[in-house]
Amino acid sequence: MLDLSQGEDAAAVSALRSSVMRLSRRIKHQRVDESLSPTEMSVLGTLARCGSATPGELARKEHVQPPSMTRIVALLEAKGLVRLEPHPEDRRQKVVSPTGRAETMLAESRRKRNVWLAQLAAELDEDEWEKLRAAAPVLEKLAHL
C-alpha cells in the first residue's frame, strides 16, 4: 500500500501525475481535425471503444451533464460525425453512432499520435524503452480502474 506521508511514495505519485498529465496534453495536440474540441474527440473515442449509446449513457461515461452532451451530440451530428437513430426499445430515446467519416478520422488521428509518440520513444535508450514497455500494461490498468 502506498504511504503518501512518506516522501518517496508522495514524490513518485506527484511525478507520475505530472508527467502523465503533461504527456496527455501533448498527445491531445496531435489531432487530425483541429475544428473538433477535445471533448468532441473524447465522445467520438468513447463511441468507437464502447459502441453506440444514448446521449445519457455518453454523458455518464464522459462525466458531463446530459444537456451538455445533447449540445455536443448535435454539433457532431451537424459535422457528419455521428448519426442519431431511434432506440430499439424506448422510442422516446435516440441512439448515437459514429459515422464512417468519424471512424476514418479517428483511425488517422490514432495513427498520427502513434507516429508522434514513437518519435519521442526513439529518443530513449534501450533500458528506458524496456522500462516503458513494461510499464504500459500497468498504466493501462490505472487508466481503467
In the chain the domains, ranked by start, together with CATH numbers, are 35-143 (1.10.10.10)
pLDDT, tens only, 85-130: 998 888 888 999 999 999 999 999 999 999 999 999 999 999 999 9
Question: Can you give the pLDDT at residue 9?
Answer: 82
Q: Are the C-beta atoms of 62 and 77 separated by less than 8 Å?
A: no
pTM: 0.77
CA 67 to each of CA 6, 90, 117: distance values in angstroms, whole numbers, following the listed order: 43, 19, 35
**What does the pLDDT average to over 42-58?**
94
Please give the pLDDT value at position 38.
85
